[in-house]
Amino acid sequence: MEEKVYNNMEHQIILAQLPYTAPFLFVDGLTAIDTNGVSGFYTFKKEADFYKGHFKNNPITPGVLLTECCAQIGLVCLGIHLITSSDTLRDNALQIALTSSEMEYYLPVYPDEKVSVTSEKIYFRFHKLKCHVKMHNAAGKLVCKGTIAGMLKNKSNE
């Protein structure tokens, strides 16, 4: 991936287009993005409500939220970049739908653990984006990997 480190203004432009807010926003920052992929990071805060019940006396991050983090960074942020690069996205008019995911999990993620996500585009055509994603922990160990696909388009293209 041709690396382009995002400054705060560019980062804020992509974050502003995300259709999520806390407590369901799983993107803290982006470190690189181009037409072939993206990398970013997120820290799962220990105060998050889901840790209270998953699992008793041994809190770990649910796999569905690891997948969501991978999708938000690896699919949605990349999709926003691809669409805005072609000047077709206007006025927060993006519609997003996850169409498929196939993930394999290798290590748990604990409260206050920072993870990094990298994504490589498989294809983007007919409004469908499909990517290979990987999540690593702060020690650089593979947490999970898989393939995620979704539909991204302007509301005005309905």
Beta-bridged to residue 144, according to DSSP, are 105, 135
User: Distance between CA 20 and CA 106 in Å, rounded?
Assistant: 27
Show which residues are catalytic. Answer: 54
Instruction: Estimate the share of the chain in helix, then strand, then coil, as percent rounded to the nearest 5.
Output: 25, 40, 35
Q: Copy the structure tokens of residue 35.
A: 């037409």
d(CA 61, CA 115): 11
